[in-house]
Amino acid sequence: MAHELSPPEQWLSLYGDVLYRYGLARVRDPELAEDLVQETFLAALKAQANYAGKASEQTWLIGILKHKMIDYFRKASRERTQEFDEQVVDEENDDCFDQQGSWKVDLSHWSKPEQSMQQDQFMQVLQQCIERLPKRMAQLFILREFDGLESEEICELMSIATMSNFWVMQSRTRVQLRHCLDINWINP
């Protein structure tokens, strides 16, 4: 079924907050996220004629926002230092494993994770746990897990020195996230 665009005057009230949330979760900077929303609407105005109606209006707008965001990451990562990555991949900086490399945190048993994860409550806790991650780790994680970018693309886009740094950061993120879920999600 083909979708149709609503009048541009209504876009802000219909999609302003959704786009803002989408952007903010990824760039982690309110001002920047606001700018991205504005740029998205302005670009959408110009591109209205190209809207083929295949995707819903919201998906179409998010697609434009995604492009704007990736442009931003590309520009920003040129000026970035690698300091944070070095800290994360530093062996000394690990609070989930002891010196022998054994688990230092509890891992409770999640019964039927596929089913219980379908619940809204789980998504809420997951969102909160992602918000608590350090900015850079959250960005890499969201780009990979939700937005489905390939590891190589992310390394290039975010100027990560080596693939192995990326994997170490992803691994740390997953351990932390899982631990946060363990503490905050009441597993049924």
Residues that bind other proteins (CB under 8 A): 8-9, 11-12, 16-18, 20-22, 24-26, 30, 34, 37-38, 41-42, 45, 58-59, 62, 94, 97, 100-103, 107, 109-110, 113-114, 117, 123-124, 127-128, 130-131, 142, 144-148, 151, 163, 166-168, 170-171, 174-175, 177-178, 181
Q: How far apart are CA 19 and CA 184, in angstroms?
A: 27
Amino acid (1-letter code) at residue 35: D
- Pick the closer one to other proteins by CB: 46 or 78: 46
Phi and psi based region of residue 112 (left: phi greater than 0; alpha: psi -120 to 50; beta: remaining): left
Q: Which two tokens stand for residue 11?
A: 């876009």
- Pick the closer one to other proteins by CB: 75 or 101: 101
Cα-to-chain-centroid distance, residue 164:
20
Q: C-beta of 21: minimal distance to other proteins in Å?
A: 4
- Pick the closer one to other proteins by CB: 24 or 76: 24
Q: How far apart are CA 137 and CA 86, in angstroms?
A: 12
Q: CB of 150 within 8 A of CB of 160?
A: no
- Pick the closer one to other proteins by CB: 78 or 103: 103
- Pick the closer one to other proteins by CB: 88 or 177: 177
Q: C-beta of 97: minimal distance to other proteins in Å?
A: 4
**DSSP 8-state assignment for residue 97:** B
Q: C-beta of 2: minimal distance to other proteins in Å?
A: 19
Q: C-beta of 80: minimal distance to other proteins in Å?
A: 21
Q: CB of 129 within 8 A of CB of 12?
A: no
Q: CB of 61 within 8 A of CB of 11?
A: yes
